[in-house]
Amino acid sequence: MRSSNNLKASTNTDAPKEATVIHLYAAAEKIYPRSTFGFFTKWRWAMIWLTQIVFYGTPWIEWGNRQALLFDLEAKRFYIFNLVLYPQDLIYLTAILIISALSLFLFTAIAGRLWCGYTCPQTVYTEIFLWIEAKIEGDRAARIKLDNAGLSSQKLIKKSSKHFVWIALSLWTGFTFVGYFSPIRELGSAVVNLGLGPWETFWIGFYGFATYGNAGFMREQVCKYMCPYARFQSAMFDDDTLVVTYDEARGEPRGSRSRKADLTNQNLGSCIDCSMCVQVCPTGIDIRKGLQYECIGCGACADVCDTVMDKMGYARGLIKYSTQTAIVNGWSHTQMLKRIMRPRVMIYAATLILLVTTLCTSLWLRSPFKVDVIRDRGVMARLAEGGMLENVYRLQIMNATESAQHYQLSATGLDGLVVQSDALDANRTVIVNAAETRGVPVRLQIPDGSVKSGSHAVAFSIHAVEDDATVTEKSIFLVPR
Amino acid sequence: MSDFTNSFWPIFITVISLAGVFGCALLLWLTSKIKANSPNGDNTNGHVWDENLREMNNPLPRWWVWMFIITIVFSLFYFVSYPSLGANPGKLGWTQAKQYEQEMAVANEKIAPLYAKYAAMPIDQLAGNKEAKAIGERLFMNNCAQCHGSDAHGSKGFPNLTDNDWIHGGSPEKITETITNGRIGMMPPMAAAVGNEEDVKNVANYVLSISGNKHDSARAALGKEKFAACAACHGADGKGNQAIGSLNLTDGIWLHGAGEEAIIKRINHGITNQMPAQSAKFSPEQIHVLTAYVWGLSNNANHQ
């Protein structure tokens, strides 16, 4: 109601105006980011190399007789180097997700969208695709010119070779991705022999298409219109967060000038209004307008501005990583960095360290096998030879290691409790093969009449001989009236 | 699609579905542009809040619209192809039952080679095969253990499969037959044939005596004569007959309860005991492996 009143009020007070039609959808304008060189660009490329060597390389590492990192969805086993994870270990995935989210909080609180600017696959692949594009079509000006030019054989060759390289890289990316779920060496020979399964083909194609589309065409639109992290990261910012900032006090009033001109006489700031910061921006914004939601914090504008400042013979850092408080108070670099250790950051860091420690400890202490005790419901209790009363249980033993294991069974809780099983071998152990689950039928016996009728708590103790680990599981022993 | 008994519901669903889809299309069209009273060129859409807070127009890229249109077109194709709009069975003829059958066919095809290599092996060899035994164990655990117990030792009314005391025969062929077709064991009430209450008690004591259990020998002697009524099925010596599934009364194994009281109850009331046929659940090859496992329980002393 309030807004409509205000709307009416504003229409009344403002002089009569013509109603204009505003379109709420518009064709996205293509952005031609200019290549950059400098400190932040070097860091970004370092992160690109690091993440991509890990991504493309890891599936090829062998570990014993298998791939070191393999998420076998069909068999419901995740192989991570020495570790074999089962659906029961889903809690670790939860922990990893929480740790990832908290890391994002921490980095964002310290220096804004670090993830977006340096390591996000969207940024990384866009940067790689842009590099290919620049190699084939040339830099910003050449690309604009080429796009505006009419169809020629040269344009056709350039465009098609660019797309050829893009598609090849995309397919390789899709292939690598599927290689995490389906052994990559076999997948490789399947590709060569045209023997891919329908789902493998689909996912290589789908992931490849997503890479091609996102890094080649969607680019900044993914960050602006699709990415949820981009939206909530701004909630992690505070006045002491380092963000890419244009030093307005120093830069304004902006204006072009001769390289030799004396600033004091001309009433000009350091900004020469060369628009380089706008040309290099991968999201097409003007950082001089202040912090905007589109800014992914890549620092390209800072790099290019430093080059310009060097040429002009001015001090670097007209566009730099700085904080709101530092700009307002005119703080020095050290004063600003001191504020990094503020309570918010300390709490994020402490929580993160705690969680990582917990996860590592938990993985370290993780039992190499799991046991579920299932009491047979069909049989309450029965009389066995020798005047013994017995209950039947099934011990579902899950061997989470990659070698066969022998298990010793024992039970406590009642006097004279005897463990019987037809599955026991000569050494009174049961064997469970590597990474297999076996239901072992077990009978617990007590002398009939030795305890009163009712439900009695008992506990099974299962000891893995080779791994020297013990698991205890509770159950009940029923004595009928 | 005859899930609804009242013809109102298919119409209701059709109207809701179509109104939903076309409503989305209408909404998309209506919200693609607005008329705004704002100064030309300042790129605000005329919405004003809190006196002077004006909303800027940040148009979404046009491909968003195409995404919406694609979902609308998709839903129309879906209405045509799949069961929808209340009573439309869909051009593709998809049903849950068909999908289940397809998936089962794929799964069976996948496991067929696994069982095929065991199909030709004789039971006694198969019972010693570790891999086949593990498969048999899993089949047993998932399908048989509910009644016969995880350890196959059975319980009251459910035979022990490990004691070599077979009701219908313990040869591989007989076990296969039992699993495939199931069994019905039926003892009619015999009180009238045996005689009065005293006679029934005497026969019960006789039955206890032939299996060497605690009994009243005077009553057992009297009951011996009346046992003739039982002998038709259980045999004159009380050892039963596997051909008709009558129980052996001499071996001290009591399927339906031990002791005088339980036996009197059986004579008076009889009993019908049934094992359901498993042929619909398993392929013949699976039954072959399962037979080997069950046979091995009592014929292979060296477990593991």
Q: Do B151 and A441 touch (CB under 8 A)?
A: yes
User: Mutate which of A3, A24, A419, A436 to disrupt the B interface (most B C-beta within 10 Å)?
Assistant: A24
Q: Which range among A111-120, B35-44, B232-241, B281-290 shows the weakest confidence by mean pLDDT? A: B35-44
Question: Which pLDDT score, from 0 to 100, does residue B51 have?
Answer: 84
Question: Which pLDDT score, from 0 to 100, does residue A462 have?
Answer: 94
Question: Which pLDDT score, from 0 to 100, does residue B1 have?
Answer: 47
Question: Which pLDDT score, from 0 to 100, does residue B42 have?
Answer: 74
The chain A residue lying nearest B66, using CA atoms, is A25
The chain B residue lying nearest A425, using CA atoms, is B304
- Conformational region of residue B51, where left means phi above 0, alpha means psi within -120 to 50, and beta covers everything else: left
Q: Do B153 and A443 touch (CB under 8 A)?
A: yes
Distance CA A109, CA A241 (A): 6
- Cα distance between the two ends of chain B: 53
User: Mutate which of A285, A392, A445 to disrupt the B interface (most B C-beta within 10 Å)?
Assistant: A392
- The pLDDT tens digits along chain A (481 residues) read 333 444 444 444 444 456 778 888 888 889 999 999 999 999 999 999 999 999 999 999 999 889 999 999 988 889 998 888 888 888 998 999 999 999 999 999 999 999 999 999 999 999 999 999 999 999 999 999 999 998 999 999 999 999 999 999 999 999 999 999 999 999 999 999 998 989 999 999 999 999 999 999 999 999 999 999 888 888 888 999 999 999 999 988 888 888 776 666 678 889 999 999 999 999 999 999 998 889 999 999 999 999 999 999 899 999 999 999 998 888 888 999 888 889 999 999 999 999 999 999 999 988 889 999 999 887 788 888 788 899 999 999 999 888 899 999 999 999 889 998 888 888 889 999 888 888 899 999 999 888 899 999 999 999 999 988 999 999 999 998 7
* CB of A463 closer than 8 Å to CB of A478: no
For residue A434, the SS3 value is: coil
Question: How do beta strands A20-23 and A25-26 pair?
Answer: unpaired
B149 at interface of A, judged by CB pairs closer than 8 A: yes
Put simply, the chain B residues between 44 and 83 with a CB less than 8 A from any chain A CB are 45-51, 57, 59-65
Distance CA A476, CA A460 (A): 10
Note if the bond before A441 is cis, omega within 30 degrees: no
Q: Which two tokens stand for residue A329?
A: 């108070």
Distance CA B112, CA B117 (A): 9
Residues of A in contact with B37 (CB under 8 A): 11, 14, 17, 19-20
Chain position carrying tokens 């593709």:
B92
Q: Which range among A463-472, B39-48, B138-147, B192-201 shows the weakest confidence by mean pLDDT? A: B39-48
* CB of A219 closer than 8 Å to CB of A31: yes
For residue A474, the SS3 value is: strand
Put simply, the chain B residues between 5 and 44 with a CB less than 8 A from any chain A CB are 31-40
Q: Which two tokens stand for residue A417?
A: 């409790």
For B222-235, how does the pLDDT look when each residue is reduced to its tens digit (9 = 90+)?
Answer: 998 889 989 999 99
With 50 as the cut, is the pLDDT of residue B116 above it? yes
* CB of A25 closer than 8 Å to CB of B59: yes
Cα-flanking dihedrals φ and ψ of residue B190, to 5°? -110, 0
Q: Which two tokens stand for residue A295?
A: 């800014």
Put simply, the chain B residues between 169 and 208 with a CB less than 8 A from any chain A CB are none
* CB of A211 closer than 8 Å to CB of A121: no
Distance CA A436, CA A369 (A): 10
Cβ contacts of A314 within 8 Å, gap of 6 or more = A270
DSSP A119: I
Question: Which pLDDT score, from 0 to 100, does residue A434 have?
Answer: 86
- List helix spans (H) across A150-268: 153-178, 184-192, 198-213, 220-221, 228-233, 248-251, 263-266
- List helix spans (H) across A286-342: 300-312, 324-329, 333-338
Q: How far is CA B107 from the centre of its chain?
A: 17
The chain A residue lying nearest B254, using CA atoms, is A383
**Cα Rg of chain A, angstroms:** 33
Nearest to A24 among B34, B152, B158 (CB): B34
Give me the DSSP letters along A194-228.
T---HHHHHHHHHHHHHHHHIIIIITHHIIIII-H
Distance CA B29, CA B65 (A): 9
- Conformational region of residue A299, where left means phi above 0, alpha means psi within -120 to 50, and beta covers everything else: left
B301 at interface of A, judged by CB pairs closer than 8 A: no
Distance CA A220, CA A222 (A): 5
Q: Do A24 and B38 touch (CB under 8 A)?
A: no
Q: Which two tokens stand for residue A207?
A: 């992931």
CA dihedral over A220, A223, A225, A226, signed as positive or negative? positive
- B177 to each of A392, B116, B151, how far by Cα in Å? 28, 20, 22
Residues of A in contact with B297 (CB under 8 A): 422
B130 at interface of A, judged by CB pairs closer than 8 A: no
A199 at interface of B, judged by CB pairs closer than 8 A: no
Contacts A–B by Cβ distance under 8 A: 127
Distance CA A474, CA A460 (A): 6
